[in-house]
Amino acid sequence: MLIHSKTLFGVSNESLTAPQIGEGKMGNKIFKIITVLFVLVLIGCDQNPFDKLYDPTGDGALGGGWGDWKIYDDQLNTRGGVMLSPSEEHQTFAEVTGNPRSGTKCIKYSWDGTRLWSEKDGKLVNWTAAILIVAPTWQEYGEEKDLSPGDYNKITFWVRGNLSSGTIRFEGPGPRGSCDSTDELSLLPAGWVGKEIELTNKTHLSQAKEFFKIVFDGGGGTVYVDDITYTK
């Protein structure tokens, strides 16, 4: 909100004549008091109010409400990061400008199909995943966020690409094997097609460590993803 300084402080910049000295002192006191109050109001506000546009889960969305939340549209709007699993080898994850579904950029994720070592499984595995995580970096993975106040029922998104072999699926928050996900897809469309994940496990939403996962299983390929949205 823009406030005109004269209207706010009630003090003129004109020189004070002798009869106005007492009034000037009183005006200076009022000026100081209002200045202090103004600074306190600023301190009480968010340091970066634009964060509310990008992430409604911090202090609530605009005005304190939770509306549809587009977690990716030309940028990642989660304050979190990206983690590649089971390791970063033989995979690429990037934003690209070629033929996005909307805006100027979309996500591109590729795996060449090479089996990778999984510390958790203790063996070579034939799957990989790109995970949009709550934590800012993979080293801090485990940080949680409560998405349940949003009453989100599904995640909608758009995909295109190709698979060399195997399948691909897309998952919401929750542990591997028990989270909500799409069916396994053995083909990806050449042009943009809308998909959705029904969010049925509200416990996973209240203890979310991940926002969205892309999982190649049994073989590699390249997938493009755009306009990922939590919706009601």
Q: How many CB atoms lie within 10 A of CB 108?
A: 19
Question: What's residue 62's pLDDT?
Answer: 31
pLDDT of 176 reads 83
pLDDT of residue 199: 95
pLDDT of residue 5: 29
Angle at 175 between CA 174 and CA 179, to 5 degrees: 55
Q: How far is CA 100 from CA 117, 133, 155, 163, in A?
A: 33, 22, 19, 19
| Contact predicate 217/126, CB 8 Å | yes
Handedness of CA 186, 107, 177, 83 (dihedral sign): positive
Q: Residue 133: what pLDDT?
A: 94
> CB burial class (10 A; 0-12, 13-18, 19+) of residue 231?
middle
How many angstroms separate the CA atoms of 182 and 195, rounded?
A: 8
Burial label, 172 (beta-carbon count in 10 A; 0-12, 13-18, 19+): buried
Report the pLDDT value the prediction gives residue 202, as an integer from 0 to 100: 86
Show pLDDT as tens, one digit a residue, over the chain (232 residues).
Answer: 332 322 222 333 333 333 343 455 555 655 555 554 444 433 334 333 333 334 444 443 333 457 889 999 999 998 899 999 999 999 999 999 989 999 999 999 999 999 999 998 999 999 999 999 999 888 888 899 999 888 899 999 999 999 999 999 999 999 888 899 999 999 999 999 999 999 998 889 999 999 999 999 999 999 999 999 999 8
Q: Are 62 and 54 in contact (CB under 8 A)?
A: no
